[in-house]
Chain A
Amino acid sequence: MGSSMLPLRQDTFNLKPMKACKNEQLLCKISSRILVVCLFVLGTASCQKMQKYDPDSEVQVASYSTLSSVNGLLPWMKAEFEKQLPICKITLNVSPGATQLVADLEHNSKKVQVIVGLDEAIFKKNESIFLKQEVQSRWVELQQELKQENHSFKKELSFELPLGFLPLDYAPLTLIYDRQKMNELKLPVPQSLSELTEKKYRKTFIVQDPRMSSPGLVFFQSLPPKTPLHLLSDQWRALAQSWGTSYKMFLAGEAPMVWSYLSSMAYHASRAESQNYGWVKLKDGLPLQREGIAIVDTPKNNALFSDHKSCMSQWVHFFYHPSVQAQVYKKQFMFSVLEHIEMPKEFQDLEKERHFQILKNSPQQTDTFLKDFAKRLQPDTHD
């Protein structure tokens, strides 16, 4: 073995200097030193960058298209947040609709950590995949912090808040009507949803398909339990695929009434159209849609959320900053969940409406309802 190594060592030591260096030794020395210095500088910079880079500084956020649109709440928040905490990076993953947020999780190659804009019913249906205890204790802390800052959570919204669900915004739902069209048709404004089965309201309103739209689901779940759906199905003008579609149809004059958010009135007020439209003050109260934030339950997310200094934790906390909650009115046309937040004047009267209807459907009941929905539209099915 030793004999086999000997020639190699000899060869190694017998290496002659390169010709170029032999001829221009000074230039060679200088250039080699410059090279060393450059390498050192680059290496140090790279090391510093490596030290700065923290994989947990990137937060994967999923939300639906309206929230993530160019003028939506999330892009604005992302810009503000990254300005305040440059070390953190927020990545927005977009689903076409709120109903598909959870369904899209399994298709998304990136590991989504925070879901924003989740409807309460969808949260309840999928609550097993979300962090609960950690979020709940954090929610209690958050409320105390808010109190100190004189921004308490609206008490009327606190009923049966699901464990692990952080409320972001809310809006009561009701029927919005076109005053002129109602007058032309000599239609009285209904006082309850059960009145919609009356003949005079035939083809006079647009509602959303509950299988595809959250507001649509709220509509059907707000109906009195014994409302015959097959009678109601003759009454609606169209069962729209989404809230956006239904409202566009309403604005185009396809029907005098539409099932929508109370905040739609604020939109019309901002366009000086509030005299043209009205909203129905349902005698049983207005059903409420609460949108919130949920954290996907993984050991990593659990650890990150427990750490108050982590980017994910601070990002979630940022949603309750007064400036962000003020933007909820402006960018989402929804109501803030906090009291004493600066709001546009169009919301001020609407904000006083706090007579809400409490929907207590379990996820199983919702699934059964959705599954049987088409069946219940048939006349021979007893509701």
Chain B
Amino acid sequence: MINLEAAVQMFNAIIDPSVLRVVVGTLLRILGVLSASAGVALLFIFNLKPKFYSVFDRIFYWFWVLPSFFLIALVWIVLKLAHLDGFLYDWPAIYLAWFLGIVPLMVWGGVQGLKRVDQNQIKVAQTLGATSAQAFYRVTLPAIVPFLTYTGMQCFYILMTSFSLVMILGGGSPRDTLETRIYQEWFFQMRTGVWSYELFAFLIWQSAFLVLVQGVGVKITSKVPVSVFQVSLEKKVFQKTTLWWCCFLVLWALIGKTKLWMPVAQTLILGTCVALGVVAFIFLIYKTKFKSIVWWGSWVSPIVVAWLVWEGTRMVGWNSQEWVSSMTKAAFVQIVLFLPWASRILFPVLAQVKIHELKMAHTLGATNFQAWQSIEWHRLRPIVFDVLLLMGIFSISEVGSVILFSNENFEPLTLWIQNQYGRFQIQAALTGTVILMGSAGLLITRRVS
């Protein structure tokens, strides 16, 4: 039964001037940084020579998977070295970090479009008297717009869900965005037990923007081939990564000066569970008629999904703070969040099932499983492996999906770093960031198809 009074209060909270001020402020700031980044990116693309296109393939993946902690560390060090301390713990530091994170992505998006531009068309246009700028405007720009739009949407999502970066570089309130206000309201509710209607309002506003942007962008980005976003990772990378992590764990166990091994171990377990869980869910969902369900998580903020799970489990009395329990909840949130990205890679591959070969195998006496294993799995294995690694990278870099479930028993590496920054343990935070960057870097593809 709907409580009318509560519904009215929720509605009032949504249109409350103080809430709207945060909404408008967040939106203006994000759009401002996006516009500036797009301008710089376009300028760069306009002057970029084709022989440098491949350079941005790798840079994109660095910036795509690198945690925001890298940007925090970068901006913090740059501002300190430049004696621009006044910008630190204020909006300029946040803008700078956003800008540095977004521009490479924008350039990469444009480069993907440029790769598909017919150079002959440009030459023809120039032969017919068009200037470089006219050729760019008439030929190049129409080709790269869908790619830029898609990248812009992704950047909007990244900035809208930016959490640690705003919390640390902003120095706390009043430098708030929708994402940080959601956390603050949740924290207040958790601490006092008083229901916060503002929390609900912020959740609604943020989700509305993300869904709206997706709705507008889908038509434009449908022209972008799926293969652009496919990832290909070298198999040896996995072995190297495993070895690297093992060496690291042994080293930390030997040094024994901090309890960092626990966050690292929890991160590894979480990443493994999430990666396996995502792939398992993809296979399960593909067998059903509800393939589109995975897109639900595509444009939702991690903290929103995390809050839904947190509130849901609290309501059913699942309050245990054992690390396994907290990790299970966090893993579930991450699986929901990452399913769309994995499905984008795996669904087209699964659709290319080799029916004739499977039938032939059946005719020759193979069982269903034998046929699938020798024909389909053989085909799927490298891509499944890629997806597992990519999901692992996503998982180890995520903060918003784990922060609500963290406690003294459960503190993955990202949160450990966030807490070190929060406690002003800059050295420890930078060490953690380097470890995280190293791991993500090792997992990054060397070849993007």
Contacts and interface: CB of A to CB of B under 8 A. Distances in A.
A96 B408 contact: yes
A239 B172 contact: yes
Interface in B180-204: 181, 184, 187-188, 190-194, 196, 198
Contacts of A106: 319
Contact of B196 (A371, A378, A381): A371
Interface string B401-428: 0000001100000000000001111100
A245 B407 CA distance: 18
A237 B171 contact: yes
Interface in B153-178: 171-174, 176
Nearest to A96: B408
A245 B422 contact: yes
Given A237-B171, A371-B194, A377-B173, A248 B187 contact: no
A94 B408 contact: yes
Interface string B286-329: 00000000000000000000000000000000011100000000
Contacts of B198: 374
B326 to A, nearest CB: 10
B21 interface: yes
B173 A109 contact: no
Contacts of B225: none
A252 B424 contact: yes
A243 to B, nearest CB: 11
A374 B181 contact: yes
Nearest to B19: A375
Category for how many chain A residues contact B: 35 or more
B184 A99 contact: no
A107 B424 contact: no
Contacts of A378: 18, 21, 174
Given A94-B408, A370-B188, A375-B18, A242 B89 contact: no
A103 B190 CA distance: 7
Given A241-B422, A248-B424, A100 B319 contact: no
Nearest to B421: A245
Interface in A274-328: none
Interface centre among A109, A252, A371, by most B CB within 10 Å?
A371
B365 interface: no
B17 interface: yes
A241 B173 contact: no
A100 B190 CA distance: 9
Category for how many chain B residues contact A: 20 to 34
Contacts of A212: 187
Contact of B424 (A104, A249, A367): A249
Nearest to B88: A254
Given A106-B319, A238-B172, A367 B21 contact: no
A245 B17 contact: no
Contact of B172 (A100, A209, A381): A209
Contacts of A245: 422-424
Contact of B184 (A237, A367, A374, A381): A374
A349 interface: no
A154 interface: no
B158 to A, nearest CB: 24
Contacts of B256: none
A103 B191 contact: yes
Interface in A137-194: none
Contacts of A100: 191
Interface in A360-380: 367, 370-371, 373-375, 377-378, 380
A99 B22 CA distance: 26
Contacts of B129: none
Contact of B173 (A95, A125, A252, A374): A374
Contacts of B426: 252
A239 B424 CA distance: 12
A292 to B, nearest CB: 19
A74 to B, nearest CB: 16
A211 B188 contact: yes
Contacts of A230: 174
A211 B174 contact: no
A91 to B, nearest CB: 15
A324 to B, nearest CB: 26
Contacts of A104: 321
A233 interface: yes
Contact of B171 (A96, A238, A244, A367): A238
B174 A377 contact: yes
A116 interface: no
B433 to A, nearest CB: 18
A203 interface: yes
A38 B29 CA distance: 80
A51 B176 CA distance: 60
Interface centre among B18, B184, B194, by most A CB within 10 Å?
B18
Contacts of A203: 86
Contacts of B321: 104, 107-108
B188 A233 contact: no
Interface string A79-119: 00000000000000011100110011011110000000000
A107 B188 contact: no
A272 to B, nearest CB: 24
B320 to A, nearest CB: 7
A240 interface: yes
Given A106-B319, A233-B173, A378-B21, A238 B89 contact: yes
A209 to B, nearest CB: 6
Contacts of A209: 172-173
B63 to A, nearest CB: 27
Contact of A107 (B173, B192, B320): B320
Contacts of B424: 240, 244-245, 248-249, 252
A115 B171 CA distance: 32
Q: Which 4 A-B pairs have the closest CB atoms?
A: A239-B172, A238-B171, A248-B424, A377-B174
Interface of B: 17-18, 21-22, 85-86, 89, 171-174, 176, 181, 184, 187-188, 190-194, 196, 198, 319-321, 407-408, 422-426
17 contacts: A99-B191, A103-B191, A106-B319, A203-B86, A209-B173, A211-B184, A211-B191, A233-B173, A238-B171, A238-B172, A239-B172, A242-B422, A244-B424, A245-B424, A374-B174, A377-B173, A381-B18
Given A96-B407, A103-B190, A107-B320, 10 more contacts: A103-B191, A107-B319, A211-B187, A233-B173, A248-B424, A367-B192, A370-B188, A374-B22, A374-B176, A381-B18
